[in-house]
Amino acid sequence: ETGVTQTPRHLVMGMTNKKSLKCEQHLGHNAMYWYKQSAKKPLELMFVYNFKEQTENNSVPSRFSPECPNSSHLFLHLHTLQPEDSALYLCASSQTGANEQFFGPGTRLTVL
């Protein structure tokens, strides 16, 4: 199993739908991250969890709701999204906040 996996790889949803993105890491790391990569902005850090506890929330709208049930799994629950939320959502993990991050393949999200 590769280091960091994400599902689904592609997702198309309407503005009234509810969906979830899943990330799993097989590296034994303690920290997990969600990033948003859109066409016209630099990669944006959204949330960070360390040992299942949220340590960073970069003013992300409440229509994005993260969940980290254990150090290996991270979810991003989506509801009532806007078209401008269409982006590539990347998950990453690291041993600690100061260590190199390893990225998953991303979920390409399109909001109609």
Partner 1 sequence: ELKVEQNPLFLSMQEGKNYTIYCNYSTTSDRLYWYRQDPGKSLESLFVLLSNGAVKQEGRLMASLDTKARLSTLHITAAVHDLSATYFCLLYTGGFKTIFGAGTRLFVKA
Q: Is the CB of 6 or the CB of 64 nearer to partner 1? A: 6
Q: Is the CB of 12 or the CB of 15 nearer to partner 1? A: 12
> Which residues contact partner 1 (rule: CB under 8 A)?
31, 33, 42-45, 48, 50, 55-56, 90, 92, 97-98, 100-106
We find the least distance from the C-beta atom of residue 101 to partner 1, in angstroms, to be 7
Q: Is the CB of 90 or the CB of 111 nearer to partner 1? A: 90
Phi, psi dihedral angles at 106 (to 5 degrees): 95, 155
Q: Per residue in 67-106, is it b (16+ CB within 10 Å) or e — as a string?
A: ebeebbebbbebeebeeebbbebbbbbbeeeeeebbebeb
